[in-house]
């Protein structure tokens, strides 16, 4: 029995956050600058037996199973899993259900501001599609994942997380009035990436947030034409373009200044964006060597993304953990988007020489290697020999 494994990267929203949310996105056009990081949402799928559907989410201590006819009984604990399964049936399997075992896990908690739920939908969608022999491209994958969360389930939010997870890497993304999203991959010099990675820290204070409440407040301000909130969102949209240009030319100090301006504007879009705990952590980080920072995602909690003097990374981390609790960690950027790979029931042992040769030939292409497996990304399929 074939086993499919897949993953989709989480992301940092660098600029433009909130402009991808309706009604702003369709009325004015959204702009997003984002990058994927070395944290992932994983999906593990295989054909079930009989008419059984089984879902597991070990990181949330949840498991459930039901017959295909009783699928609705799993909706409370597994709304995303059920919605993905239904879409795969409708879009790729002619409306015919099939038995499925699907397990998932994510490298970050819900409400982290790293786009974890959307990356999970992308990973589940691509992996379950691969199980039945379908391979949607990155645009189709992202669009369907967006529809599952925003239309099928009615969950508040924008489109940036799905496209970031599907494409991977540094991307500048724009939306058009007809709802079309255009993804522009950015070629950032290696030394610029290295400097950013050396300067970047993520702080998690242990408090996740319900993004829907923050987003609903932002949406209401746009609908009601709140002058200050709308002007702030326009500023965020313009700043995303400025930030992209600074990043492409490698102006890190200018990039940090733009990040700071974007955060200041973001706080004007809703009173829920920041809170006393976030402001305290921000002040502690600034006093210890942070140059600029912002909360990743909708705001109200989750990860604080910080640009620091690389020589003061330890000082910033220790000050935050001592005075605010929580944890500080570095992160690395990734190039690849969502990927699946096929594990035969009896997988041959890895022949080290072959695996090393293939890894060397492919280089850092964001492709996962598995001996004897077929690897499919949203762009291509690879078979690794044994």
Active-site residues: which are they?
161
Residues 6+ apart with CB under 8 A from 51: 67, 68, 69, 97, 99
Determine whether the annotation assigns residue 112 to a binding site.
yes
HEC letters along 167-191 = HCCEEEEEECCCCCEEEEECCCCHH
Q: Is 302 left (phi over 0), alpha (psi -120 to 50) or beta?
A: left
Determine whether the annotation assigns residue 115 to a binding site.
yes
CA distances from 312 to 57, 198, 200, 226, 329 (A): 38, 10, 11, 40, 14
Residue 6 phi, psi (nearest 5): -155, 160
8-state DSSP, 272 = T
- Residue pair 186/32 in contact by the 8 Å Cβ criterion: no
Determine whether the annotation assigns residue 210 to a binding site.
no
Determine whether the annotation assigns residue 380 to a binding site.
no
Determine whether the annotation assigns residue 15 to a binding site.
no
Instruction: Please classify residue 250 by burial: count the beta carbons closer than 10 Å to its beta carbon, then call 0-12 exposed, 13-18 middle and 19+ buried.
Output: middle
Determine whether the annotation assigns residue 174 to a binding site.
no
Determine whether the annotation assigns residue 153 to a binding site.
no
Q: Six-digit token pair at 245?
A: 């240009």
- Residue pair 17/114 in contact by the 8 Å Cβ criterion: no
Residue 248 phi, psi (nearest 5): -65, -40
Determine whether the annotation assigns residue 46 to a binding site.
no
Would you list the DSSP string of 210-263? -HHHHHHHHHHHHHTT-HHHHHHHHHHHHHHHHHHHHHHHT-HHHHHHHHHHHH
Residues making up the annotated binding site are: 111-117, 149
Residues making up the annotated binding site for ATP are: 111-117
Residues making up the annotated binding site for Mg(2+) are: 117, 149
């Amino acid at each position: 029995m074939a086993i499919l494994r897949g993953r989709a990267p989480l992301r940092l929203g660098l600029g433009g956050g909130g402009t991808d949310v309706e009604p702003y996105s369709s009325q004015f056009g959204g702009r997003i600058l984002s990058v994927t990081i070395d944290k992932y949402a994983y999906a593990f799928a295989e054909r079930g037996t009989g008419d059984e559907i089984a879902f597991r989410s070990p990181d949330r201590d949840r498991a459930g199973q039901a017959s295909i006819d009783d699928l609705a009984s799993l909706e409370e604990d597994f709304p995303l899993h059920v919605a993905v399964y239904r879409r795969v049936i409708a879009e790729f399997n002619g409306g015919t259900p099939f038995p499925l075992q699907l397990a998932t896990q994510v490298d970050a908690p819900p409400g982290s501001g790293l786009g974890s739920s959307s990356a999970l939908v992308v990973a589940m969608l691509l992996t379950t599609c691969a199980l039945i022999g379908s391979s949607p491209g990155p645009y189709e994958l992202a669009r369907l994942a967006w529809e599952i969360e925003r239309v099928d389930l009615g969950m508040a939010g924008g489109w940036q997380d799905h496209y970031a997870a599907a494409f991977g890497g540094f991307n500048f993304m724009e939306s058009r009035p007809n709802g079309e999203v255009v993804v522009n991959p950015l070629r950032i010099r290696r030394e610029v990436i290295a400097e950013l990675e050396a300067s970047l820290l993520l702080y998690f204070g242990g408090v996740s947030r319900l993004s829907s409440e923050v987003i609903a407040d932002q949406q209401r301000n746009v609908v009601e034409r709140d002058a200050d909130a709308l002007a702030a969102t326009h500023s965020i949209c313009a700043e995303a373009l400025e930030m992209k240009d600074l990043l492409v030319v490698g102006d890190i100090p200018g990039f940090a200044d733009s990040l700071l301006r974007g955060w200041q504007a973001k706080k004007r879009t809703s009173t829920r964006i920041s809170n006393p705990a976030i402001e305290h952590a921000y002040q502690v980080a600034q006093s210890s060597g942070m140059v600029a920072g912002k909360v990743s995602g909708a705001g109200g909690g989750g990860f604080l993304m910080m640009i620091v003097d690389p020589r003061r990374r330890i000082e910033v981390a220790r000050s935050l953990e001592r005075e605010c609790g929580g944890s500080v960690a570095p992160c690395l950027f990734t190039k690849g988007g969502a990927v699946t790979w096929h594990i035969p029931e009896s997988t041959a042992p890895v022949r080290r020489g072959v695996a090393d040769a293939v890894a060397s030939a492919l280089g850092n292409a964001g492709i996962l290697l598995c001996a004897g497996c077929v690897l499919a990304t949203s762009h291509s399929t690879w078979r690794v020999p044994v």
